[in-house]
């Protein structure tokens, strides 16, 4: 098929900041085309321009040979370009049906359409895209993240007649099978798909070509069959991949945190120990209680029963602030940075230091210079460039927003970090910065409990790994015995003896 989208010298500036400095690329009809690059490379800005969220300063876009200059998301959708955003754009207090049908929920000209009719239309959309476990009248705020992600994608699928843009679509999905099935259905109709992901295994499975961005500019468009991962990484960051983390066992010390017969949400009678100097991984399939556990330890969720011991003392962790003040201190980095972590209209420096200033008992005059000075050391520990400290966090890339959250956690001085999927949806370079921070933190006497949706990450980082199934520990695996296969098997529950096969008739 011929070329559907042609982008030439596309540029976007915010004052002196160049978010996109010259992107040239093309996507063919019926093709799945990857966009690869580190956080901050310009991928999100490119998505926003294609989707009508922002307008470029320079360059051109042609869709089927005609100028593509959308002034809004709905204008882009009217041209056949539909986007599922990395930071979900669903409205939490509306139903699934209302989110799917916005902006025109009702088709009535003179009076509102009946609710039953609206639900029926939404049910048809869900059925078309093989969503069988989510009701159209369910409220978005009541759904787990994986289901919300599928609704975001389904809405985009239902409107994509020319180009579907998927920005980190599998970040919260337990597997890719449903999504890849829908993508193949679209491309068979001639619809093109722009696929943005940091998971190269996914990119290789579903994409034919890739355009690599670096520092806001397109570096090259390549056939994926003709380039290996190391070559892609070198184009993304400008140098070869870093050496893998040492396999040397981490020395461990005193117990910093314990849970005894902990019951909270789906967690049932959990006993857990965290020692100084170790990184304890948590592996689990979706919905096995990991969110409940991490929220309880972070002071976000009240436990039903059991005990949490911090520094040898029982700790009533009622709020994140109380958790931070419970010696030796707990800092929690939540699953959804945009909804639960950052204050996007405040600067990075303000976001980093706010927990520190809030904990001070003496009054002090605060200004931007003082904030930047106090934030600089924590920012350096997570490799956040000083130039970003004065930026509003909402204008930073997802990876840099995550660095801000981690720098804030370090700023508290806590010795216990509770990290829920800290490297989800960030680029390879940012992942390396996060991993280095984690190693440094435990080397200096801290302890980390972290959940990851990627088994390779758990194997690479964990001193030992606890596997949850149905709210309980199904296995605890030491570093020496840890493999992805073993973690995956334990995540599916206790081993079962297969039934004795029936003998074939003689």
Task: For residue range 160-200, list pLDDT tens digits in order.
Answer: 999 999 998 987 888 899 999 999 999 999 999 999 987 78
Three-state SS across 298-346?
Answer: CCCCCCCEEEEEECCEECCCCCHHHHHHCCCCEEEECCCHHHHCCCCCC
Across 335-344, average pLDDT: 72
Residue 108 has pLDDT above 90, yes or no: no
Task: For residue range 456-485, list pLDDT tens digits in order.
Answer: 899 999 999 999 988 999 999 999 999 888
Task: For residue range 224-256, list pLDDT tens digits in order.
Answer: 999 988 788 788 867 554 444 444 444 468 999
Residue 496 has pLDDT above 50, yes or no: no
**What is the distance between the alpha carbons of residues 415 and 327, in angstroms, rounded to a whole number?**
8
Q: Regarding predicted confidence, which is higher, 316 or 227?
A: 227
> Of 297, 244, 267, 337, which Cα lies nearest the Cα of 447?
297
**What is the distance between the alpha carbons of residues 23 and 30, in angstroms, rounded to a whole number?**
21
Pick the range with the lowest mean pLDDT from 32-36, 249-253, 383-387.
249-253
Pick the range with the lowest mean pLDDT from 14-18, 30-34, 130-134, 228-232.
14-18
- Residue 129 sits at φ, ψ, to 5 deg, of -105, 25
Q: Regarding predicted confidence, which is higher, 32 or 108?
A: 32
Task: For residue range 393-434, list pLDDT tens digits in order.
Answer: 888 888 888 899 999 999 988 999 999 999 887 877 888 889
Across 79-106, average pLDDT: 88
Q: Regarding predicted confidence, which is higher, 190 or 114?
A: 190
Residue length of the chain: 506
**What is the distance between the alpha carbons of residues 451 and 335, in angstroms, rounded to a whole number?**
10
Q: CA 302: distance to chain centroid?
A: 25
C-alpha distances in angstroms, 469 versus 111, 285, 302, 455? 50, 8, 21, 15
Location of structure tokens 């370009």: 81
Contacts of 498 (CB under 8 A, 6+ apart): none
**DSSP state string for 375-407:** HHHHHHHTT--GGGTTSBGGGS-HHHHHHHHHH
Looking at residue 195, what is its pLDDT?
97
**DSSP state string for 110-149:** SSPPPHHHHHHHHHHHHHHTT--SS-TTSBGGGS-HHHHH
Looking at residue 215, what is its pLDDT?
83
318: left (phi over 0), alpha (psi -120 to 50) or beta: alpha
Three-state SS across 440-486?
Answer: HHHHCCCEEEEECCCHHHHHHHCCEEEEEECCEEEEEEEHHHCCHHH
**What is the distance between the alpha carbons of residues 422 and 412, in angstroms, rounded to a whole number?**
17
Q: Say whether the peptide bond before residue 328 is cis (omega within 30 degrees of 0).
A: yes
Looking at residue 128, what is its pLDDT?
95
Interaxial angle between packed helices 348-358 and 398-411, expressed in degrees from 0 to 180 and rounded to the nearest 10: 20
With bands split at pLDDT 50, 70 and 90, how would you rate the model's confidence at 110?
low
**What is the distance between the alpha carbons of residues 448 and 437, in angstroms, rounded to a whole number?**
11
> Of 179, 142, 165, which Cα lies nearest the Cα of 35?
165
Looking at residue 357, what is its pLDDT?
60
CA angle 77, 80, 85 (to 5 degrees): 50
Task: For residue range 256-265, list pLDDT tens digits in order.
Answer: 999 999 999 9
Contact present, 71 and 54 (Cβ < 8 Å)? no
Task: For residue range 358-376, list pLDDT tens digits in order.
Answer: 555 445 555 677 788 888 8
- Edge-to-edge strands of the sheet including 305-310? 267-275, 255-264, 305-310, 313-314
Looking at residue 65, what is its pLDDT?
93
Number of helices (H), then strands (E), in the chain: 17, 20
Across 212-231, average pLDDT: 90
The residues that bridge with 28 in the sheet, in sequence order, are 3
Looking at residue 1, what is its pLDDT?
62
Contact present, 10 and 24 (Cβ < 8 Å)? yes
Hey, is 8 helix, strand or coil?
Answer: strand
Signed CA dihedral, 58, 63, 68, 74: sign only: negative
Full set of structural domains in the chain with CATH: 3-237 (3.40.50.300), 255-491 (3.40.50.300)
Percent composition of the chain: helix, strand, coil (DSSP 3-state, to 5): 35, 25, 40
User: Nearest 10 degrees: CA dihedral of 410, 414, 417, 422?
Assistant: -20
Q: Residue 76 has what DSSP assignment? A: H
Contacts of 326 (CB under 8 A, 6+ apart): 310, 311, 313, 315, 317
Residue 132 has pLDDT above 70, yes or no: yes
**What is the distance between the alpha carbons of residues 152 and 386, in angstroms, rounded to a whole number?**
34
With bands split at pLDDT 50, 70 and 90, how would you rate the model's confidence at 87?
confident
Q: Which long-range contacts (CB under 8 A, 24 or more apart) does 175-180 make?
A: 176/202, 176/205, 176/206, 178/130, 178/150, 179/153, 180/205, 180/206
**What is the distance between the alpha carbons of residues 361 and 123, in angstroms, rounded to a whole number?**
55
The residues that bridge with 146 in the sheet, in sequence order, are none
Looking at residue 109, what is its pLDDT?
61
Looking at residue 455, what is its pLDDT?
83
């Amino acid at each position: 098929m011929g070329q559907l989208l042609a982008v030439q010298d596309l540029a976007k500036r915010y004052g002196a900041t160049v978010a996109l400095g010259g992107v040239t690329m093309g996507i063919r009809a019926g093709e799945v085309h990857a966009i690869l690059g580190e956080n901050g490379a310009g991928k999100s800005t490119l998505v926003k321009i294609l989707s009508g969220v922002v307008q470029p300063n320079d360059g051109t876009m042609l869709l089927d040979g005609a100028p593509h200059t959308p002034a809004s998301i709905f204008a882009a959708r009217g041209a056949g370009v539909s986007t599922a955003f990395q930071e979900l754009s669903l409205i939490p207090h509306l139903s699934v049906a209302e989110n799917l049908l916005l902006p025109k929920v009702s088709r009535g000209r003179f009076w509102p359409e009946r609710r039953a009719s609206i639900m029926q239309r939404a049910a048809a959309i869900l059925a078309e895209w093989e969503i069988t476990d989510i009701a159209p009248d369910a409220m978005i705020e009541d759904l787990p993240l994986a289901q919300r992600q599928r609704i975001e994608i389904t809405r985009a699928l239902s409107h994509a007649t020319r180009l579907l843009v998927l920005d980190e679509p599998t970040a919260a999905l337990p597997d890719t099978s449903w999504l890849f099935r829908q993508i193949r259905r679209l491309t068979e109709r001639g619809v093109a798909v722009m696929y943005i992901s940091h998971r190269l295994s996914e990119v290789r499975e579903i994409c034919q070509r890739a355009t690599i961005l670096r520092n806001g500019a397109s570096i090259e468009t390549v056939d994926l069959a003709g380039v290996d991962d190391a070559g892609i990484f070198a184009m993304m960051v400008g140098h070869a991949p870093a050496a893998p983390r040492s396999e040397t066992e981490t020395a461990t010390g005193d117990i910093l945190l314990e849970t005894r017969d902990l019951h909270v949400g789906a967690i049932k009678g959990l006993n857990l120990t965290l020692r100084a100097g170790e990184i304890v991984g948590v592996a689990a399939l979706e919905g096995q209680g990991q969110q409940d556990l991490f929220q309880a330890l972070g002071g976000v969720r009240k436990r039903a029963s059991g005990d949490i011991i911090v520094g040898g003392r029982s700790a009533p962790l009622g709020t994140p602030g109380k958790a931070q003040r419970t010696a030796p201190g707990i800092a929690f980095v939540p699953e959804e940075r945009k909804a639960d972590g950052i204050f996007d209209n405040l600067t990075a420096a303000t976001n980093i230091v706010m927990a520190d200033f809030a904990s001070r008992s003496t009054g002090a005059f605060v200004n931007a210079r003082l904030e930047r000075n106090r934030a600089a050391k924590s920012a350096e520990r997570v490799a956040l460039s000083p130039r970003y400290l004065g930026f509003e966090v909402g204008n930073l890339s997802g990876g840099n927003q995550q660095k801000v959250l981690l720098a804030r956690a370090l700023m508290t001085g806590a010795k216990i970090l509770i990290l829920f999927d800290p490297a989800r949806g960030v680029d390879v370079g940012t992942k390396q910065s996060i991993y280095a921070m984690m190693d440094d933190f435990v080397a200096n006497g801290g302890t980390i409990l972290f959940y990851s949706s990627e088994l390779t990450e758990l194997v690479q980082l964990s001193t030992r790994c606890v596997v949850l199934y149905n709210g309980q520990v199904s296995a605890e695996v030491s570093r020496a015995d840890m493999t992805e296969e073993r973690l995956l098997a334990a995540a599916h529950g206790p081993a079962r003896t297969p039934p004795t096969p029936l003998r074939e008739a003689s």
